[in-house]
A and B are shown apart, each in its own frame.
Chain A
Amino acid sequence: MDWGWIGRNLDQMWSQALEHAALSTLPIVIGFLISVPLGYWASRSTAARSILFVLGNIVYTIPAIALIVFVPVTLGLAVLDPRNLVVALTLYAIALMVRAASDAFAAVPHDVTGSATAVGFSGIQRFFAVDLPLAGPVLLAGVRVVSVSTVSLVSVGALTGIDNLGMLFTDAFRNDNFPEAVAGIVAVLIIAAVFDIVLSLIGRLLMPWNRRSPSRVLRPTVAI
């Protein structure tokens, strides 16, 4: 077995890794931005919730490879256009994320939102200043799931010739090159882990009240 292959091909793997990361980032970000308003809507309307959840389930049931082939036909893009992959993965991201977002908004305590309205937040102010930040921890948990799922699904794009780390798998299979497949798995895992760490850091930065670290929690002094 030729483990030296990995060392000789680091440059190529690095550029595929960057491509992989870029292809993963777009669906995660776009999926999040679309899912938040949809999830808010779903949390407030039973009808919206049932429609969106059913649609989400249907989309998620379509096999990835079918979706990636189906998208260019619908949008009139070239079959090898990487945008097909981005659109398909965005749909998966939304299918996963709408449910999480709906749960996140539904979990915001009613006495807090009620009192925010009572002291004079308008609807839109309350959404951005109260509902959205308080839904933050559950939204973050949802994005982390979507992130891992998207990073691994990007590999499937290699089957339709879109260059990324998934190419290592198709290549390895064709050339019977086991070390190349191992390198691909490790590289995808590393990207998924880096994304997860970045997301949780963003969460800590944006939601300082949510930090669980005991040293940060100042306990009220108790007079005995």
Chain B
Amino acid sequence: MIEFRSVSKTFADGTRAVDDFTLTIPARKITVLVGSSGSGKTTVLRMINRMVDPTSGHILIDGNDIAEIEPVPLRRSIGYVMQNSGLLPHRRVVDNIATVPRLTGASKAEAHARALELMDVVGLDRSLAERYPSQLSGGQQQRVGVARGLAADPNILLMDEPFSAVDPIVRDELQQEVLRIQAELAKTIVFVSHDIDEAFRLGDQVVVLERGGQIVQQGEPSEILANPATDFVASFIGADRGKRRLTVSASAATRGDDRLVIDAGGYPVGVIAAPDGLLAVADATPKTRSISNKSDQAGDA
């Protein structure tokens, strides 16, 4: 569990990035911090591994104030995945994944064996181990980034907009991978995103931030969708534009039992099954959805 207690951060140039921020991030769940640029979401994330130190307030991990932990060992104990992977371009994939175990004193053989196992976990072919990052596709690089983040088996994994620079198909696959890996490993994941759809898909808890790290709403995706707390949230999730209000199209021709679903603007968003004229109903708990194991990587290349 990670707790922020009245945390503020003012940068040297006077920018107040985060103002009196209080939040509890539950263990073994995915918490997504979502907001537009300037909302302070990345600053909040970077305070967890002391890449940024708060000006005031306290941050606790499992009850321990992190201000009392040396930054370097703290960072080694927390997984970190960033946009554009942040991989070391001069090291092979296997060495990149083995980075943190090597820093904490694991032997090369041990760290490499572990790295190869992690390549399996994140769905990378072991034949890529000897390549340099620039020889991989963007999606593969992000998988390496995730594997590196997991290498020291940390309890906490910080993910700073990790999938925002890859194309939508690959992003979709990577999001699926995160959910699959999380189902297996159950880490405390803090995920920063500016994409509300990504937040709703991945988050057990979604925290919507406005300027200065102000929390405008937090809760499960279904709560936020059903009851946006403010006009800002409604606009951010697209509810104000009718993007989230769906109706079954009366006119469109459909196949079999399927009916076309449109949003308030009349744009098609999907189909819904309606056997015998009755709409299909299901339990809304998102974690029950089936997640395919070891998804095909073809779209990654």
Query: Do chains A and B stick together as partners?
Result: yes
Binding site for B on A (CB under 8 A): 109, 111-112, 114-122, 125, 129-130, 133-134, 136, 207, 209-210, 217-223
Whether B136 and A220, one on each chain, are in contact in the complex, defined by CB atoms closer than 8 angstroms, is: yes
Contacts of B87 in A (CB 8 A): 112, 115
Q: Which of B28-36, B71-79, B177-185, B195-203 contacts A (4 or more CB under 8 A)?
A: B71-79
**B88 contact from A116, A207, A217, A223, Cβ within 8 A:** A116
Whether A120 and B73, one on each chain, are in contact in the complex, defined by CB atoms closer than 8 angstroms, is: yes
Number of interface residues of B (CB under 8 A): 33
Asked if B193 is at the interface (CB within 8 A of a chain A CB), the reply is no
Task: Give the dominant DSSP class at A's interface.
Answer: helix
A220 in contact with B75 given A118-B86, A119-B80, A207-B90 (CB within 8 Å)? no
Asked if B208 is at the interface (CB within 8 A of a chain A CB), the reply is no
Contacts of B104 in A (CB 8 A): 120
Whether B86 and A122, one on each chain, are in contact in the complex, defined by CB atoms closer than 8 angstroms, is: no
Contacts of A207 in B (CB 8 A): 90
Asked if B148 is at the interface (CB within 8 A of a chain A CB), the reply is yes
Whether B89 and A218, one on each chain, are in contact in the complex, defined by CB atoms closer than 8 angstroms, is: no
Asked if B249 is at the interface (CB within 8 A of a chain A CB), the reply is no
A123 (CB) vs chain B CBs: closest residue: B72
B18 to chain A, nearest CB (A): 18
Whether B86 and A112, one on each chain, are in contact in the complex, defined by CB atoms closer than 8 angstroms, is: yes
Contacts of A223 in B (CB 8 A): 298-299, 301
Q: Mark B102-144, 1 if CB is under 8 A from A, else 0.
A: 0110000000000000000000000000011011110010000
A221 to B99, CA, bound (A): 26
A184 to B298, CA, bound (A): 62
Contacts of A222 in B (CB 8 A): 301
8 A-B residue contacts at CB 8 Å?
A: A109-B89, A111-B82, A111-B84, A112-B87, A129-B88, A209-B134, A220-B135, A223-B301
**A114 contact from B86, B103, B137, Cβ within 8 A:** B86
Whether A112 and B137, one on each chain, are in contact in the complex, defined by CB atoms closer than 8 angstroms, is: no
Whether A220 and B137, one on each chain, are in contact in the complex, defined by CB atoms closer than 8 angstroms, is: yes
B42 to chain A, nearest CB (A): 11
Asked if B51 is at the interface (CB within 8 A of a chain A CB), the reply is yes
Top 9 A-B pairs, shortest CB-CB distance: A115-B86, A120-B76, A223-B298, A120-B75, A209-B90, A118-B80, A222-B301, A209-B132, A220-B301
A221 (CB) vs chain B CBs: closest residue: B301
A218 (CB) vs chain B CBs: closest residue: B135
